[in-house]
Amino acid sequence: MAENREEIREGLKKVVQLVKKVEDDRIVPAADLKQDLALDEVGRIEVLMMAERYFDVEFSEGEIDYLSRFGDIADTIYEKQGMIKERPFL
């Protein structure tokens, strides 16, 4: 489990680059997967599915429908991991 936002961004960057070869400097928080990183809808879904496995989180259907910016995906993962840490004795 990643400890901070920077670790999540670095891990998510690896996930994106596994789906599509993209230069590091193009993968910034404001980058839209489709418009800025040239991923199609299948690629976007693949990034989300791989991120779920990589970070051991699960996106809801609503999140899958709207998550398209790199920073929003990273922030959602961060929030979900924080929720996991706060769960008592599960």
Is the CA virtual torsion 35, 59, 15, 26 positive or negative? Answer: positive
| Tens digit of each residue's pLDDT (9 = 90 or more) over 6-51 | 999 999 999 999 999 999 999 999 999 999 999 999 999 999 999 9
- pTM for the model stands at 0.88
Domain ranges of the chain: 5-86
- The pLDDT of residue 84: 55
Positive or negative torsion for Cα 5, 78, 34, 44: positive
Assigned fold of 5-86: 1.10.1200
Sign of dihedral through CA atoms 81, 75, 23, 53? positive
- Helix pair 41-55, 5-19: axis angle to 10 deg: 130
